[in-house]
């Protein structure tokens, strides 16, 4: 078949085959080098950010806030040149492989040190500390989850408002939603909310929050949210700690979906074109 081509008159079959395999080898080498050259790992706001892609750029975010296990491996060539792969796994069950890392033993220690630092910072986030702050991009107060203090009755629109705030934290840089304290720092407590639940205590409150969250945001994002309860002025208060999500989060309400971000001390809904631009700038 080769002899039917014009090139056979100039280059023998053996030479052409040699040139083809040489070209393929060169192409693979260049491609592998390009993938390595355009792949980056860095730390940002308590996350490992993985940027990769030659033509189509991609980004993966991995939170350092959860408990982590970090290990590394080196193949024989890696041992010679001190390059290896770092495996990071979280208590949530997800993981990240950092490939072709120089001195992986050193960078493994750096990841653990960074995670411990974040853990210490989170321990400092107490109810007493946030009460001294005004609402901002990463902090919001709400008097209740579902009891309307002004109307003195159950109002499910308040649940929707809380979920919008949580989704906005997920889509921006995380934050704390304090339930049971209004925006004037008046302690309302959760007794009214408890009274609307079949199980009227903190456990029932958390179960109901999770049900609403799963219905409006999605159970796959629940791993980014933690709740703890505190007593202030003799009343129960809930602090909802929200991590930054590794992918876009939408709020489902009946048959519609909406996308929210934090802008200053408020929650803002984006239009379709704004959502597209925001996602490209943040996750693409």
In the chain, where are the structural domains located?
A: 2-37, 40-123, 127-282
CATH classification code of 40-123 = 2.30.29
pLDDT at 2: 64
Taking alpha carbons only, the member of 32, 94, 278, 30 closest to residue 171 is 278
pLDDT at 66: 64
Taking alpha carbons only, the member of 139, 123, 229 closest to residue 185 is 139
Answer CATH for 127-282 from 3.30.950.30, 3.40.50.2000, 3.40.50.2020, 3.50.50.60: 3.30.950.30
**Three-class secondary structure assignment of 114-135:** HHHHHHHHHHCCCHHHHCCCCC
| Cα dihedral 161→129→42→223 (10° resolution) | -50
Cβ pair 52, 38 in contact under 8 A: yes
Number of neighbouring beta carbons within 10 Å of residue 145: 25
Displacement of CA 64 from its chain's centroid (Å): 10
Kindly state the tokens that stand for 18: 């040699």
Number of neighbouring beta carbons within 10 Å of residue 159: 20
Rounded to 10 deg, the angle between the 202-216 and 157-171 helix axes is 70
- Digit-by-digit pLDDT tens for the chain (284 residues) are 666 777 777 787 788 788 888 888 887 777 666 655 667 777 765 678 777 777 767 777 777 766 678 899 988 888 888 889 999 887 666 788 888 888 889 888 888 877 776 665 555 556 777 888 899 999 999 999 999 999 999 999 999 999 999 999 999 999 999 999 998 999 999 999 999 999 999 999 999 999 999 999 999 999 899 998 999 999 999 999 999 998 999 999 988 999 999 999 999 999 999 999 999 998 86
175, burial (CB in 10 Å: exposed 0-12, middle 13-18, buried 19+): buried
pLDDT at 118: 65
Residue 231 CB partners (closer than 8 Å, separation 6+): 237
The model's pTM is 0.64
Cβ pair 68, 88 in contact under 8 A: yes
pLDDT at 208: 97
Residue 244: HSE in the Cβ half-sphere, 13 Å Cα cutoff:
20
């Amino acid at each position: 078949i080769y002899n039917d081509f014009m090139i056979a008159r100039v280059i023998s079959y053996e030479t052409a085959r040699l040139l083809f395999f040489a070209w393929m080898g060169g192409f693979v080498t260049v491609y592998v080098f390009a993938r390595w050259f355009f792949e980056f790992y860095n730390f940002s706001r308590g996350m490992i950010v993985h940027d990769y892609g030659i033509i189509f750029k991609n980004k993966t975010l991995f939170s350092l806030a959860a408990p982590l296990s970090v290990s590394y491996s080196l193949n024989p060539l890696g041992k010679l040149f001190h390059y290896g792969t770092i495996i990071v796994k979280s208590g949530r069950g997800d993981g990240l492989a950092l490939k072709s890392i120089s001195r992986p033993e050193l960078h493994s220690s750096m990841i653990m040190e960074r995670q411990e630092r974040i853990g210490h910072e989170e321990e400092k986030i107490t109810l007493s500390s946030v009460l001294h702050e005004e609402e901002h991009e990463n902090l919001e107060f709400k008097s209740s989850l579902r009891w309307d203090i002004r109307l003195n009755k159950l109002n499910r629109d308040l649940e929707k408002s809380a979920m919008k705030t949580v989704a906005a934290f997920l889509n921006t840089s995380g934050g704390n939603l304090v339930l049971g304290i209004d925006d004037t720092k008046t302690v309302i407590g959760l007794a009214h909310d408890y009274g609307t639940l079949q199980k009227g205590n903190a456990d029932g409150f958390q179960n109901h929050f999770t049900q609403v969250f799963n219905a409006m945001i999605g159970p796959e994002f629940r791993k980014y949210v933690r709740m703890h309860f505190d007593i202030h002025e003799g009343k129960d208060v809930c602090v909802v700690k929200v991590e930054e999500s590794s992918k876009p989060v939408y709020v489902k309400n009946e048959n519609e979906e909406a996308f929210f971000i934090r802008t200053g001390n408020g929650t803002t809904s984006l239009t379709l074109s704004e959502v597209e631009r925001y996602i490209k700038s943040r996750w693409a």
